[in-house]
Amino acid sequence: MIEFRLPSLGAEMDEGTLIAWKVKVGDAVRKGDVVAVVDTSKSAIDVEIWEEGIVAELLLEPGATVPVGTVIARLRAPGDAAQAAQARTGAQFARGSGAAIGTTGTSPSASG
């Protein structure tokens, strides 16, 4: 899981107030995408993401004021969602067939 922290948006910025999210859970983001608008003591500033991934959690509600460095969102790496889906599909297949993953589905007692 990738943690996205409130960056310092100015030399004298100690905290920021989230005005609005520009993304929602499940959105794909790339480096440079604007994900939020944060109010500093001087102005409202667009906040860009520095990582590529899928938004997994938005940890603040608009209006919340937090110190610089606070985790404000979590991302899944681009491949994480696909790997999780494959794991779920494989587990469902194994449960449905009665066979463990990686077996042929035959039992030793069937031949003898």
**CA-wise closest residue to 53 among 76, 86, 20:** 76
User: Comparing C-alpha atoms, which of 43, 33, 80, 37 is closest to residue 60?
Assistant: 37
Q: Find out whether 38 and 14 touch, Cβ atoms under 8 Å.
A: no
pLDDT of residue 81: 54
Beta strands, E only, the chain? 2-5, 15-21, 28-29, 34-39, 44-48, 53-58, 65-67, 71-76
Residue 75 is predicted with a pLDDT of 96
What's the confidence (pLDDT) of residue 87?
A: 47
Q: What is the pLDDT along the chain (112 residues), one digit of tens a residue?
A: 999 999 998 888 899 999 999 999 999 999 999 999 999 888 999 999 999 999 999 999 999 999 999 999 999 998 775 555 554 444 444 445 444 444 444 444 454 5
What is the set of domains in the chain, with CATH numbers?
A: 2-97 (2.40.50.100)
Answer yes or no: are the C-beta atoms of 74 and 4 closer than 8 Å: yes
Q: Which of 18, 43, 102, 87 is nearest to 5 (CA)?
A: 18
**pLDDT score of 10:** 80
Question: Quick one: pLDDT at residue 97?
Answer: 47
Return d(Cα 73, Cα 57) in angstroms, integer: 5
Residues 6+ apart with CB under 8 A from 110: none
